[in-house]
Chain A
Amino acid sequence: KQEVTQIPAALSVPEGENLVLNCSFTDSAIYNLQWFRQDPGKGLTSLLLIQSSQREQTSGRLNASLDKSSGRSTLYIAASQPGDSATYLCAVRGGGKSTFGDGTTLTVKP
C-alpha cells in the first residue's frame, strides 16, 4: 500500500524567502506525481505534474523535482509572497489511483 508523507506539516517564513517542501513515498512504482495548492475551504489547484520518467518541472517561481528511486519529491518556491500562503499537497499516482500526503501548511508573513 502506497504511503505518502509530507514534511514539514507547517512552515512559516518571512516574505521573500526561498523554501522547500518535501514529499516522500514508499512505493517507487508510480505513474506520476502531482503537486497541488489548496486554500482554506476550497478545492485543489494543480501546480505541477511530473511524469515518472521526468526529474523536474518548472512553472514560474515553482520548481518540483522527482527522485523516483529514493521515493522523494521536493517543491521549491522562490521569493515567497504572502499570496503563496496555503496548504500544499503532493499526490502520487500509481495502480490507477492517487494517494495524497497530509500536506504542508505554508504561511508567508509580509
Chain B
Amino acid sequence: GAVVSQHPSRVICKSGTSVKIECRSLDFQATTMFWYRQFPKQSLMLMATSNEGSKATYEQGVEKDKFLINHASLTLSTLTVTSAHPEDSSFYICSASIPGTSNEQYFGPGTRLTVT
C-alpha cells in the first residue's frame, strides 16, 4: 500500500517558538493532503486541507496564521505551529489519498508535539 511519512515523530519545544512538521508521500504523488490533530483520548479533528500549489483550506476555528501550511510539491506538505503554547501540545497526523483511485486515505505515523 501507499506510504506516508512524518518527521519528526516527537518534538519538544519551548513556549513562543515555532515548530515545523513534515508530511511526505513516499511512493505516490498527492495533490491533496490533510492535517489532523488528536488530543489524548479523543478522536481526530481535521485542521486543514493542504492543496499543492495553492492555499490551504482551514476548518472553522483553526487559526491559519498560527498553523501555517505549505504544500510546495506533490510529495511534501509542511505544518508550522507558530508561537507555540502548551495548549498546542497534541498528536498531529497527516493523510493523503492517491489521485484517481478509491480515495482511500493513508495516514502518516503522527508527530507528538509537547510545548513546555
Q: Give the contacting residue for B43; candidates A46, A51, A93, A100; CB below 8 A.
A: A100
The CA of A93 and the CA of B97, in the complex, are separated in Å by 12
Interface string of B90-116 (1 = CB under 8 A from A): 010101000000111111111010000
A-B contact count (CB 8 A): 53
Residue from B6, B44, B108, B112 in contact with A41 in the complex, judged by beta carbons closer than 8 Å:
B112
A43 vs B105: C-alpha distance when bound (angstroms) = 12
**Size of B's binding interface in residues, CB under 8 A:** 23
Question: Main SS of chain A's interface residues?
Answer: strand
A interface residues, how many (CB within 8 angstroms) = 23
Q: Is A106 close to B, CB under 8 A?
A: no
Chain A positions 53-107 with a Cβ under 8 Å from a chain B Cβ = 89, 91, 93, 96-103
**A-chain residues with CB within 8 Å of residue B105 when the two chains form the complex:** 34, 46, 91, 93, 98
Closest 10 CB pairs of A and B: A43-B109, A44-B107, A43-B110, A100-B43, A102-B43, A100-B44, A49-B104, A43-B107, A97-B46, A103-B43
- Chain A contact residues, CB within 8 Å of chain B: 31-32, 34, 36, 41-46, 49, 51, 89, 91, 93, 96-103
